[in-house]
Amino acid sequence: MDFHNQRLNLFESFERFQDQLEADNLLKLQHSEPSTRYYVEASLNGKREWTEWAYDEHELDLLKQDAKDCGFAYTVEEVD
pLDDT at 13 over 80: yes
Do 71 and 41 share a structural domain? yes
Report pLDDT for 72: 97
Do 56 and 22 share a structural domain? no
As for how many domains the chain has, the answer is 2
Report pLDDT for 3: 83
User: pLDDT per residue over 25-72, tens digit each?
Assistant: 776 777 677 788 999 999 999 999 999 999 999 999 999 999 999 999
Q: How far apart are CA 39 and CA 61, in angstroms?
A: 12
Residue 61 buriedness (CB in 10 A; 0-12 / 13-18 / 19+): exposed
Do 41 and 56 share a structural domain? yes
Report pLDDT for 45: 95
Range of the domain at 54: 32-80
Do 58 and 25 share a structural domain? no
Report pLDDT for 56: 92
Report pLDDT for 24: 82
Q: DSSP string of 13-44?
A: HHHHHHHHHHHTT-SSPPP-----EEEEEEEE
